[in-house]
């Protein structure tokens, strides 16, 4: 039995017409809704469910079926939202006496653990750069700053000379939500930045150069895209097989701090996270590492 030949198929068409004409939702969202509701229609036809049969238990059964069909947690969340919107519409138009989807709970999002580099790989990456050339000195300072402070790509690209306190070894950055914070610079990063400012940046300065901290060969500010290319190129030259990008160095900074015993609240402040829950993802990285060590070295691992 096709979706169009059932009661649910007709309701789906009416609902999507409403979504398109009265709500003005995008065609992509309409397609996403159609896919979810067509799957519901096929499932209900297979079990010979009628409209009045569709209660909360039945919808939970449908979600379980979708999960068993290897639908991931994020897709299940979207499916649950689609069901809530559709059945609220049905109930609102008197097709159902109550909304059976209202009590449904969307599954929690999956915790996607951030990638990190091993400390030895970070050291290999940094030490492989020839700092006797102007661009080498610049790139070493960029990579050292990423790894020693955990700054975001946008924060590094917008850094200016007046934001740098070389005596106190701090850099003032403006992060998400236009929030300003001071990030401490490690000794190695300070040395790399001092070397860049002494021997490299002066050679890159042109007539119209501003006070941007890191300059391109044309004397302008480095774009985020170019910084990504620099990080990738330097990682390739260092012989690292892992895909290396600026945010990977930020993840590595946080993870290595946690492994070294740093307090999570301190890491939150250093990263500029507004909510501690964002920082807590790194505890899962550390737990994963500890499990791996236990499995490798314990006789009953």
* Angstrom distance (rounded) from CA 208 to CA 215: 12
3-class state of residue 282 by DSSP: helix
| CA-closest candidate to residue 103, choices 78, 84, 90, 89 | 84
CA–CA distance, 129 with 115 (Å, rounded to integer): 23
From the list 82, 138, 250, 256, the catalytic residue is: 250
Active-site residue, 273 included: yes
> How far, in Å, CA of 67 to CA of 87, rounded?
20
Quick check: is 251 catalytic? Answer: no
Catalytic residue, chosen from 34, 172, 247, 289, is 247
Q: Which of 176, 206, 291, 295 is catalytic?
A: 176
Q: Which tokens in the block code for residue 20?
A: 């398109």
Catalytic annotation on 152?
yes
Which one of the listed residues 66, 84, 140, 152 is annotated catalytic? 152
**Whole-number Cα distances in Å, 50 to 42, 47, 189, 241:** 12, 9, 67, 56
Tokens coding 19? 């979504």
Are 200 and 152 spatial neighbours (Cβ–Cβ below 8 Å)? no
CA distance 281 to 286: 9
Q: What is the largest CA-CA distance in the chain?
A: 78
Q: Which residue in the list 273, 291, 295, 298 is annotated as catalytic?
A: 273
Coil, helix or strand at residue 215: strand
Contact status, residue 240 vs residue 125, Cβ threshold 8 Å = yes
Nearest residue to 231 via CA among 142, 148, 155, 160: 142
Are 143 and 114 in contact, with CB atoms under 8 Å apart?
Answer: no
247 tagged catalytic: yes
Active site residues: 152, 176, 247, 250, 273, 282
């Amino acid at each position: 039995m096709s979706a169009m030949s059932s009661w649910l198929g007709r309701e789906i068409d009416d609902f999507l017409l409403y979504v398109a004409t009265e709500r003005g939702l995008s065609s992509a969202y309409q397609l996403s809704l159609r896919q979810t509701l067509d799957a519901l229609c096929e499932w209900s036809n297979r079990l010979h469910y009628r409209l009045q049969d569709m209660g909360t238990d039945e919808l939970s059964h449908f979600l379980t079926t979708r999960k068993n069909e290897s639908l991931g947690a994020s897709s299940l969340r979207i499916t649950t939202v689609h069901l809530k919107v559709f059945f609220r519409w049905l109930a609102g138009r008197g097709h159902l006496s109550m909304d059976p989807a209202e009590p449904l709970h969307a599954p929690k999002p999956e915790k996607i653990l951030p990638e990190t580099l091993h400390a030895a790989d970070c050291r290999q990456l940094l030490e492989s750069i020839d700092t006797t050339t102007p661009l080498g000195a610049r790139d070493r300072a960029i990579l050292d700053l990423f790894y020693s402070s955990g700054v975001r790509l946008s924060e590094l690209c917008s850094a200016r000379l007046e934001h740098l306190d070389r005596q106190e070894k701090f850099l003032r950055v403006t992060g998400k939500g236009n929030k300003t914070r001071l990030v401490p610079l490690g000794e190695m990063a300070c040395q790399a930045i001092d070397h860049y400012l002494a021997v490299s940046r002066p050679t890159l300065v042109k007539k119209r150069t501003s006070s941007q901290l890191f300059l391109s060969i044309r004397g302008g500010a480095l774009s985020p895209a170019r910084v990504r290319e620099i990080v990738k190129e330097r990682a390739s030259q260092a012989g690292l097989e892992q895909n290396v990008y600026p945010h990977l160095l930020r993840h590595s900074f946080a993870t290595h701090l946690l492994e070294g015993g740093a307090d999570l609240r301190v890491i939150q402040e250093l990263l500029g996270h507004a909510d501690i829950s964002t920082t807590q993802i790194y505890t899962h990285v550390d737990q994963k590492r500890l499990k791996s060590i236990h499995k490798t070295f314990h006789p009953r691992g």
